[in-house]
Amino acid sequence: MEDYIVEMRNITKRFPGVVANDDITIQVRQGEVYALLGENGAGKSTLMSMLFGMYQPDLGEIRIAGKPVRFRSSNDATAHSIGMVHQHFKLVDNYTVAENIVLGVEPMKKAAGFLPCVDMKTANREIAELSKSYGLEVNPTDRIEDLPVSVRQRVEIMKMLYRKAEILIFDEPTAVLTPQEIEFLLKIIDGLRQSGKTIILITHKIEEIRKIADRCAILYRGRLVQVLDVRSTTTQAMANLMVGREVDFNPHKNPADFRGTVLEAEHLVVRNANRFEVVKDVSFRIRSGEIFAIAGVAGNGQVELADAIAGMTHIAGGSVKLCGQDITELPVRARTEAGIAYIPEDRQGMGVFLDFNLGENLALRKYYREPFAKKGILQFRQFETYANDLIERYDIRCGQGRRTPLRSMSGGNQQKAIIAREIEEHAKLVIFVQPTRGLDIGAIENIHRQILAERDRGTAILLVSLELDEIMELADTIGVIYNGELLKVADASTLTSHDVGRYMMGVKES
């Protein structure tokens, strides 16, 4: 029998109303990169959270290097040399890199011979060495708040290495990175493998698995579908297994048919809470039937720009016109009624009421109008028929129909609900911000098709995305935003993704 460093046998884990993991068995060899592939809500993160001791399995057994273990907390997992980089980093912003890394396992020294205190000098030196030996390029004395996301992620990796972790779990590590940063991360992971670490990679991006993983377990709705040897499998086969059906990688895009101008933004200025200009003198126009995509590295003002057009943020300067009507000063509802639909970046915080049920959430744009309300009284019959209609037409999966609490639905289905609701407004302009972030291929494919269908219906579309592939695939016109300024606006056919990547880094035209 082969020796496995990690074995999870017949794991079952239930949460109220869902079986997150149903009798899953995985076995990981020492020194390999083992990928867990699956749609959102397939149970990847839950499975790994149990390996990292954050949950206990309801049934089944975990073995590390052949010995059965029971983890009561992540401390137990750390003691068995397991480390995890979470999707949301767990770092103290106003501490330095080194302080974050040693937190909890600080090297101690005795000041003046007796006073115990943290030996930061040793810590800094050790961490600098560690960074060098794995090629992580992290400076131990930098403060976390000054660092970009990609470096923070490497700090998380160092945290594991510093604790002598041998089994490293990465939860969706590339979701927040730019193409160049992803390359770099994959190189790091490869280096870790060569130094003998075992790596478990949670992801829904098949490309990465092809590049880095040795084997790949595919989960589908809480069950293990198959374990594949990556080298002997095609991308298409993996995608089909993951989604549970045939996937079409190349959505058909009809030739562009632009009609009149729908949105006209002139010299837009938006300030954040600290009165700092985050959008600086931005002007652009979107025509009917056009997808105008804004590309840029996260945090360059694109979300604020979308918020400002939708009315969520005050416009400090300039003007916005929708079909000739000045909407610069209009409140949110007036803009919605004028014909703006908005799919926000922060789905759970802004896009839905997690405590309300699906039916109520689907009616958020209409609840106060006839026929949903008559003389201030809600007409629940209407809510019901409307919700059932949308659930069916948009294939929203929900356990208890329109009565399903939004909170209990998967992220992908929550997004489906939001998109259904906004598209049903039949607006003149639909703003999509990061519409596919964190979703699986099946859902992404579906959303892309919907965006294109809206475009073909003659809707103007503003698409803000951090995924360059998505922009290259969908956009008719691309605007690249850098540091609050639109550096470049051009017809999508005249730009390569390499060009766009350069502008995203702030390189102006030469």
Partner 1 sequence: MKKAESSHRFAALLDSERWSGITVPILSLLLSLITASILLLILGKNPLVAFLSFLQGSGFVAKSSYGGGAGMLTDFFTFLNVLAPMLLASLGFVVAFRAGLFNIGIAGQMLASGFLATAFIGYSGMSAWAAKPLVILVGAAAGGLLGAFVGFLKYRFNIHEVVSTIMLNYIVSYLTGFFINSKFADPLTRSMKICSNEARLSWTNVQISGMKCSLPLGILLAAIAVVAVKFLFDKTVFGFELRAVGRNPLCARYTGIKVGRRIVAALMLSGILAGLAGVTYYCGYYNTIVPKSLSSMGYDAIAVALLGNSTPIGCIFASILITIFQNGSNYMSSTLGVAKEIASLITGILLLFSSCGGYFRYLAHRKLEEARDKLTAAARAGTETPRNSADGGTKEEK
Kindly list the residues in this chain that would bind partner 1 in the complex (CB under 8 A): 4, 9-10, 12, 14, 16, 22-23, 25-27, 58-59, 61, 223-229, 310, 312, 331-333, 336, 342, 344, 346, 349-356, 360, 364-365, 367-368, 373, 376-378
Of the pair 25, 385, the CB lying nearest partner 1 is at 25
The least CB distance from residue 311 to partner 1, in Å, is: 9
Structure tokens at 483: 């540091």
Amino acid at 130: L
Of the pair 362, 452, the CB lying nearest partner 1 is at 362
The least CB distance from residue 172 to partner 1, in Å, is: 23
The least CB distance from residue 452 to partner 1, in Å, is: 25
Of the pair 67, 252, the CB lying nearest partner 1 is at 67
Of the pair 36, 186, the CB lying nearest partner 1 is at 36
Of the pair 187, 407, the CB lying nearest partner 1 is at 407
The least CB distance from residue 505 to partner 1, in Å, is: 32
Of the pair 379, 497, the CB lying nearest partner 1 is at 379
Of the candidates 249, 130, 243, 247, which has an alpha carbon nearest to the alpha carbon of residue 191? Answer: 130
Of the pair 27, 240, the CB lying nearest partner 1 is at 27
Cα 80 to Cα 70: distance, rounded to the nearest angstrom: 11
β-bridge partners, 344: none
Burial letters 407-429, b for 16+ CB under 10 A, else e: ebbbbbbbbbbbbbbbbbbebbb
N-term to C-term CA, the chain: 62
The least CB distance from residue 396 to partner 1, in Å, is: 18
Contacts of 418 (CB under 8 A, 6+ apart): 343, 347, 351, 352
Query: Nearest 5°: phi and psi at 496?
Result: -100, 165
The torsion angle over the Cα atoms of residues 232, 235, 241 and 247, rounded to 10 degrees, is -150
Of the pair 346, 491, the CB lying nearest partner 1 is at 346
Of the pair 428, 448, the CB lying nearest partner 1 is at 428
Cα 274 to Cα 272: distance, rounded to the nearest angstrom: 5
Reduce the secondary structure of 50-87 to three states and give it as a string. Answer: HHCCCCCCCEEEEEECCEEECCCCHHHHHHCCEEEECC
The least CB distance from residue 18 to partner 1, in Å, is: 12
Contacts of 154 (CB under 8 A, 6+ apart): 136, 137, 138, 188
The least CB distance from residue 376 to partner 1, in Å, is: 5
Cα 224 to Cα 26: distance, rounded to the nearest angstrom: 8
Contact 351, 343 (CB under 8 A): yes
Query: Nearest 5°: phi and psi at 128?
Result: -60, -40
Which helix (H) or strand (E) segment is 476 a member of? none
The least CB distance from residue 357 to partner 1, in Å, is: 12
